Amino acid sequence: MNAAKVLDATGLACPMPIVKTKKAINDIDSGEILEVHATDQGAKSDLTAWASSGGHELVEDTEEDGVLKFWIKKG
Amino acid sequence: MAVNVMTASDVTKKIFNQESLFILDVRNESEFQDWKIEGQNFEHVNVPYFELLDGVEEILDQIPSDKETLVVCAKEGSSVMVAEMLSEAGLDVSYFKGGMKAWSEHLEPVKVSDLKNGGELYQFVRIGKGCLSYMVISDGEAAIIDPTRMTDVFTQFAKEKGVTIQHVFDTHLHADHISGGTMLAEETGATYWMPPKDATEVTFNYQPLEDGGQVTIGDTAIDIHALYSPGHTIGSTSFIVDEKYLMTGDILFIDSIGRPDLAGKAEDWVADLRESLYSRYKALSEDLVVLPAHFMIMDELNEDGTVGATLGTLFSKNHGLNIEDEAAFRKMVTENLPPQPNSYQQIRETNMGKITPEDEEQREMEIGPNRCAVR
């Protein structure tokens, strides 16, 4: 997937992954994709809930070797 | 204004004392719906922290000025952030130390009673998850029943009391939380007991609990009698301690009864459950004090924080003990079940010794409410 921006939030504890994601999404245009990497397990449900409450779309998410990856389409 | 910190022990005491508290829970909605900190006089508002990143102005009018306010999240970080924002806005608030993770793990020891020959009986209330463990103490020796995986709480308590842990029991193979039984036995050199019918797949050594078996704690002979009482699991065993206390495991609770379905055998085990509750327990003295392995709602707590009631009281008040019609009973315990506990299959495998998850993973597996009962 073609991401307009990649955010590395690995090693960060809640609430930082979302705080950084929120800032990063301001830097891209509507319809573009933000790719987020995180290691905080809580990021999964929180990013999903944050994306839907903010009108963004969580297009895909994966988990590999403890790293969670999310692709969020800006709304 | 200052940001204060409140610990799980502080909040537990507020529950026991029925104090009031306003909780601003900043986890996401589904987590809040699943499980929260509950007290008789606690009030909640749920606003996810990620909706407050731009400021807390919009929720200021929802926060009462005449109550203590506690901000709660999953692990602490977000509650600190929100508490600081509220503090900058002029409010006096606390954040909850360690978040729901700490809440899930906190154990509060409460004395149930002195025993006949100078011993003592303690109940360890795992307030956030509704699990109850027990310590029987007599003459420098101790036995632990249904210990949680936070074994340091028991070893520390035993040290303070100057007693050595000689025996560790599990009433059954638990499905809702990870047992600390084998670990505690290993750490202390104690004998670990469990019912053989629940242990057919376990990978460790244990001493089989047999119906009618007896274990003595201390020289003054505080006896623990095993009473086979299947139904929640096929091996479920109750204990009678000091001729007065009936430890029912997950068969009988204060306001509900055990569910028979967590090993996938609801239909098969209903008859056992009924037999245990309506015949075996019925034959016992009504003066026995029932001490279960769980509680589900804060209403089940007595004023001193203990969870327990006489068998006679339960036979008159517990709905699950008063369903005369067998078909109606069968229907209630097989069709009317709450959702199964989070990760219960993995928890069962962990308790059999088949898998050994890392600490952090064990924590995640146990997050969430207790769901062992059917009302």
CATH number for the domain including A33? 3.30.110.40
**DSSP strand pairing (B207-208 vs B141-145):** unpaired
User: Does residue A15 have a pLDDT over 70?
Assistant: yes
Q: Are B273 and B232 in contact (CB under 8 A)?
A: yes
Number of cross-chain residue pairs from A and B with Cβ atoms under 8 Å apart: 42
Q: Kindly tell me if the per-residue pLDDT of B360 is higher than 90.
A: no
Q: How confident is the model over B165-209, as pLDDT tens digits?
A: 999 999 999 999 999 999 999 999 999 999 999 999 999 999 999
HEC secondary structure over chain B:
CCEEEECHHHHHHHHHCCCEEEEEECCCHHHHHHCCCCCCEEEEEECCHHHCCCCCHHHHHHCCCCCCEEEECCCCHHHHHHHHHHHHCCCCEEEECCHHHHHHHCCEEEEEEECCCCCEEEEEEECCCCEEEEEEEECCEEEEECCECCHHHHHHHHHHHCCEEEEEECCCCCCCCCECHHHHHHHHCCEEEECHHHCCCCCCCCEECCCCCEEEECCCCEEEEEEECCCCCCCCEEEEECCCEEEEECCECCCCEECCCCCCCHHHHHHHHHHHHHHHCCCCCCCCEEEECECCCHHHCCCCCCCCEEHHHHHHHCHHHCCCCHHHHHHHHHHCCCCCCCCHHHHHHHHCCCCCCCHHHHHHHHCCCCCCEEC
pLDDT tens, residue by residue, A25-41: 999 999 999 999 999 98
Of the candidates A13, A41, A45, the beta carbon closest to that of B28 is on A45
Give me the mean pLDDT over the B341-366 stretch: 91
Quote the Cα angle for B15-B21-B25, to 5°: 105
Whole-complex ipTM: 0.89
Average pLDDT, chain B: 92
Nearest residue in chain B measured CA to CA from A41: B364
Q: Most A CBs within 10 Å: which of B50, B72, B79, B366, as the mutation test of the A interface? A: B50
Contact check, Cβ <8 Å, A53/B48: yes
CATH for the stretch B3-102: 3.40.250.10
Residue B341: both structure tokens together: 């506990």
B190 vs B168: CA distance, rounded Å: 7
| Prediction pTM value | 0.88
Q: For chain A, how many structural domains are there in total?
A: 1
Interface contact flag, B49 A13, Cβ < 8 Å: no
Q: How far apart are the first and last CA of chain A?
A: 17
Architecture label for domain B107-374: 4-Layer Sandwich (3.60)
Per residue in B212-230, pLDDT (tens digit) is 888 999 876 678 888 999 9
Q: What is the pLDDT of residue B336?
A: 75
pLDDT in tens, B232-274: 999 999 999 999 999 999 999 999 999 888 777 778 889 999 9
How would residue B316 be classed by pLDDT, with cut points 50, 70 and 90? very high
What is the pLDDT averaged over residues B28-33?
Answer: 91
Provide, as residue numbers in chain B, all residues whose Cβ is less than 8 Å from the Cβ of A46. Answer: 28, 48, 50
pLDDT tens string A44-73: 889 999 998 889 999 999 999 889 999 999
Q: What does the pLDDT average to over B332-360? A: 89
Query: Percentage of residues in chain B with pLDDT exceeding 70?
Result: 99
B86-116 per-position pLDDT tens digit: 999 999 999 999 999 999 999 999 999 999 8
Q: Does B90 contact chain A (CB < 8 Å)? A: no
Examine the residue annotation and report whether A45 is marked as an active-site residue of this protein: no
Q: Is the pLDDT of residue B290 over 80?
A: yes
Q: What's the full length of chain B, in residues?
A: 375
For residue B368, give both structure tokens. Answer: 């969430």
**CA B307 – CA B299 distance, rounded (Å):** 10
Residues of A in contact with B29 (CB under 8 A): 49
Please list, in sequence order, all residues whose beta carbon lies within 8 angstroms of the beta carbon of residue B53, skipping any fewer than 6 positions away. Answer: A15, A18, A19, A22
**Which band of pLDDT confidence, cut at 50, 70 and 90, is reported for residue B120?**
very high
Q: Which of A8, A11, A13, A14 is catalytic?
A: A14
Q: Which among B247, B312, B297, B8 has a CA at the least distance from the CA of B112?
A: B247
- A50 vs B50: CB contact, 8 Å cut-off? yes
d(CA B144, CA B162): 15
* A15:B75 CB<8 A: no
Q: Structural domain of residue A15, as residue ranges?
A: 5-73
Calculate how close chain B gets to A42, using CA atoms only, in Å.
8
Confidence check: pLDDT of B297 > 90: no
Nearest to A14 among B29, B53, B77 (CB): B77
B50 to A14: CB separation less than 8 angstroms, yes or no? no
Q: Write down the domain spans for chain B.
A: 3-102, 107-374
Query: Mean pLDDT score of chain A, rounded to an integer?
Result: 93
User: What does the block give as tokens for B293?
Assistant: 């392995």
Which pLDDT belongs to residue B221? 64
What is the spatial distance between Cα B32 and Cα B45, in angstroms, rounded to a whole number?
A: 10
Chain B CA closest to residue A66: B361
Smallest CA-to-CA distance from B146 within B121, B123, B116 is with: B123
B74 CA: distance to closest CA in chain A (Å): 8
Question: In the prediction, which pLDDT does B220 show?
Answer: 63
Give the tens place of pLDDT for each residue, B246-257: 999 999 999 999
Which of A14, A45, A49 lies closest to B78 in CB terms? Answer: A14
